Structure 1
Amino acid sequence: MTRPKKEKTLTKTKDVHLRMNETKYALLIERARASNMTVSEFVRNALNNQNVIIKYEITADVPEIKQLISQFGKIGNNMNQIARYFNQGGIISSKMKKEIRKALRDIYEMKYEVEKMIREFRGEM
């Protein structure tokens, strides 16, 4: 006598294959055994009972933002050179103070520019 057929809604017709390293696979096997389930049952159970966190990443290809990022990098490089100079025993001069103030002023100007872009992006202007 043959086994009765399952309802169509209960039949499993799709295969899922995934790759993982040895450590993750061992962890999967261990957890399935601890739950007295096969690996397939464990994964199906996890799918039904676990919260899945979906992350969205919004990217924008805006030339102005790319330009600001480039400027931040240049200012950061200048600040690193200044820090290296002082860490090596450099003496502070009026020219050095002027450069530091200029770098800080540039950073604040760029900060306000970024804030303006954010407001425009959000439609607040």
Structure 2
Amino acid sequence: MSANRERIVRKQMYFSAVEWAGIVRRMRTIGSRNFSQFARDALLSVNIIVSHKEANNRALISALGRIGNNLNQIARQVNTDQVVTLSIVHRCLELMEEIYQLIREDMEERSGYGQGLETDPSEPTRSG
């Protein structure tokens, strides 16, 4: 590999004969002769359709409901007393952080983020 090479990550793919014929047909249609450039353009410009996995969200919904109730109680107190203290602001920030953490964990669990990653994406690979 050239020391001046801009693209340092290499990925390999396998296609069936039918899949490859479809790719070649698409490349001819747009006048592309270079598969690497065609694949880069296709992967970087396509709109990805996200499939939402059905999951049992009862625990998440329950936890978010509890936090929402706490925030509502704080808001009611602030509206009644017309006073916002530093401790109230800190408690609200703690609850918001808890919401963020719960949602992040749920999203990671659904997407499998962090599971099965072979290498750091910033690390160059020779194949894969």
| TM-score, length basis structure 1 | 0.43
| TM-score, length basis structure 2 | 0.42
- Higher relative contact order by CA 8 Å / sep ≥ 6: 1 or 2? 2
